[in-house]
A = this chain, B = another copy of it.
Amino acid sequence: MAIEGAQTTPAGRIRIGMVGGGEGAFIGAVHRIAMRLDDQYELVAGALSSTPEKAMRSGAALGLDPARTYDSFEDMAKREARRKDGIEAVAIVTPNHMHVAPALAFLKAGIHVICDKPLSISFKEGLKLKAAVAKSGKIFALTHNYTGYPLVRQAREMVAAGELGEIRLVQVEYPQDWLSQDIENTGQKQAEWRTDPARSGAGGAIGDIGTHAYNLADFITQIPVVQLSAELTSFVPGRRLDDNCQIMLRYANGARGMLWVSQVAPGHENGLKIRVYGTKGSIEWVQANPNYLIWSQLGQPQMILTRGGPQTGAAAARVTRVPGGHPEGYLEGFANIYTEVAHAIRAARTGAAPDPAVLFPSLDDGLKGMAFIEAAVASSRKNARWVAL
Q: Interface of A with B (CB < 8 Å)?
A: 3-4, 8-13, 23-24, 26, 29-30, 32-33, 36-39, 61-63, 164, 168-169, 171, 173, 176-177, 180-181, 229, 231, 233, 235, 244, 246, 248, 250, 256, 258, 260, 262, 264-271, 277-282, 284, 287-291, 294-306, 308-311, 321-332, 383-384, 386
Contact = CB atoms under 8 A, between A and B. Distances in A.
Closest 10 CB pairs of A and B: A267-B296, A270-B325, A269-B325, A327-B329, A9-B61, A326-B330, A329-B329, A269-B324, A301-B303, A266-B298
A245 to B, nearest CB: 9
A62 B256 CA distance: 46
Contacts of A282: 265-267
A269 B282 CA distance: 13
Contacts of A23: 4
A295 B266 CA distance: 9
Contacts of A386: 383-384
A186 B280 CA distance: 18
Given A248-B248, A309-B301, A384-B229, A325 B176 contact: yes
B256 A258 contact: no
A279 B328 contact: no
B29 A37 contact: no
A3 B331 CA distance: 12
Contact of A304 (B9, B235, B246, B304): B304
B306 A269 contact: yes
A290 B171 contact: no
24 contacts: A8-B33, A12-B63, A29-B321, A30-B322, A36-B36, A36-B37, A229-B231, A231-B250, A244-B256, A262-B277, A266-B278, A266-B282, A267-B281, A268-B296, A269-B306, A269-B323, A270-B325, A288-B291, A289-B327, A301-B310, A321-B331, A322-B331, A326-B330, A328-B329
